[in-house]
Structure 1
């Protein structure tokens, strides 16, 4: 696509592009990280089970080198002997095998996570195409793998030579020890030498992991046109549009609920509607509908109002009129100024009474609130 349009891939891959690549089995992987996991698992197994394995192997050697003539001459006895030796050998190595299997599973998924894709198993002609193979042989990735291989050889080789030189006196001393002591000492030398050589792989992995992440991200980068086309195709789907509208409604609903505690009064039709009104006297503008809702949302508005001690006034006719004539954040319609002013005046008087600054006001009844006929809404609507 980039070659066809002449555009450079400058944009980071979108979530959809990353998801599509993952579905195809394309995730970042590091062979060096997997190798490092396996080597250290082998070292850990040697430390944990080394003495147990050595003792088991010594026992097997004695068991298999101490056969009498009658057993050797009897094929059935030899089969039993062989099966017994195999079982004993496996039981002595099961811990080592378990750690290696765990490392073989954890190593690959440590970078990129667990991923199984049927598409990756499908046959592709490019995999057996000679031209594609030659192209891969002389690619940047092939050069990188060659350099990594050389670096591993030189680094691990240098560490191995250093370890041999360091352990030379101990290796020479093995000849002066008894067989059992020499075997135990030799195993100890081998384990520690293997640990040091395995540690050299950490340096390779520390370089390879960031490189693999960088290469993977660079491979999936997109042109600006590809990003625009993806957004157009994605947002054009009905289910995506529906999800976006749902998210917008949820955001709007949460924003409305945050405004309720700041309202001066909540006007309700106790069974259907709730409208929260706020009036900023310092600005002198018309009262504003900060939140409104029907049914469940209306109940939620009333609950929040009660929780924050916002006055609630039941006026079904005014609640219906405000609900159908306004939207959240809008000023009260001119025709309902007087009706809302009556409610706010009553609320302010009630507030002064609670502060013991004024006498208790007369209750405001439904008949006292004047609503223009043009703005009245039938209860069935």
Structure 2
């Protein structure tokens, strides 16, 4: 009893790697190894690069908008039409300024996901599931080891990013104190330079953390989709079919094929026998084939059944041990006999035709 329980326990223990079908099923459900930290890092990198590239473009449009506001809009009377016009113009200018950043942010987000999971579209996570709002399972998720690991990751990320940005500020603290002696343009350039340094330093750190997080997510995903030996057996049954059912189906197909074969025996010209172990039914019909072909064949009990049906329908039987063995091994049912056996088979058929003429 104890041994049976131990075997059952080990059979249910998930120790085997997931099969390709299991991986495909998980992917179909939208479950893949993916790091959100990597997505965030690539998204921030795209946004900073867009600011770096399109900074002058945004500054130009912003300056033009402010100039127009303080030279034209300030003199307008406050009416419904004037307010609507200013609002529409302001919204259009905001869209024009933000559009390049938004486009690059969308491209960066798509690229981050494609790099990790390639193209994947699944509606499975959007389906309503009562298990997702189960308070007990929700509490288990909140106080699980995975949640604790995620908390530690977030804490580590905030600490390291804070340390990097503080280091950049500390390195430039002397110049920062001297900005009071600079003009507005010089001060803006300095703070822009420091901001870019902090941004790219934080992004480099986030990418490094994202790579580590992706490796952890992949390890955790592989561990969660492991299968037990029983799971492998069940999957094999689902894919290939239950071996017992498959054997029964094959037996049924074999019986149907045998019945069909037996129904063709009365049409045979001759049965070549061994005489007890082999029986080959031969037919020659110029309308169907250029040479004699095999209608049925069998060994032992099937051979005896072929001979019984042949006797019932008065089909000639000729004993030729070597020819019967050779034809059984070389020709399948419905196939024309090979050229090597034309001569001996022709002699048998000629003998049968002579016997029929005499009869």
TM-score in terms of structure 2 length: 0.64
- Determine whether 1:58 maps to 2:63: yes
C-alpha separation in 2, matches of 1:219 and 1:227: 15
The offset of 1:372, in angstroms, is 4.7
Q: Which residue of 2 aligns with 1:174?
A: 179
Gap change, CA 1:89 and 1:10, over 3 Å in 2: same
Q: 2:118 is matched with which residue: 113, 116, 119? A: 113
Q: 2:143 is matched with which residue: 138, 142, 156? A: 138
Higher relative contact order (CA 8 A, sep 6+): 2
For the aligned residue pairs, the C-alpha RMSD in angstroms reads 3.6
Gap change, CA 1:191 and 1:59, over 3 Å in 2: farther
Gap change, CA 1:104 and 1:237, over 3 Å in 2: farther
- Determine whether 1:31 maps to 2:36: yes
Q: Which residue of 2 aligns with 1:83?
A: 88
Structure 1 unmatched ranges of 5 or more: 242-315, 326-332, 337-365, 377-381
C-alpha separation in 1, matches of 2:41 and 2:98: 21
Contact 2:42 2:109 in 1 (8 A): yes
C-alpha separation in 2, matches of 1:201 and 1:334: 81
Structure 2 unmatched ranges of 5 or more: 1-5, 247-289, 298-320, 325-338, 350-359
Q: Which residue of 2 aligns with 1:269?
A: none
Q: Which has the larger radius of gyration?
A: 2
Contact 1:71 1:77 in 2 (8 A): yes
Gap change, CA 1:237 and 1:47, over 3 Å in 2: farther
C-alpha separation in 1, matches of 2:84 and 2:19: 62
Gap change, CA 1:161 and 1:70, over 3 Å in 2: closer
Point out 4+ residue stretches in structure 1 off by more than 3 angstroms.
65-70, 72-75, 333-336, 369-376
Gap change, CA 1:138 and 1:218, over 3 Å in 2: same
Structure 2 SS opposite 1:9: coil
Larger mean CA deviation between 99-108 and 124-133 belongs to: 99-108
C-alpha separation in 1, matches of 2:150 and 2:201: 23
Which of the pair is proportionally richer in helix?
2
C-alpha separation in 2, matches of 1:71 and 1:375: 117
- Summarize deviations over 1:189-225 as a string: whole Å, max 9, x none: 2122211111110221121111111111111110011
The offset of 1:185, in angstroms, is 3.5
C-alpha separation in 1, matches of 2:63 and 2:83: 19
Contact 1:174 1:186 in 2 (8 A): no
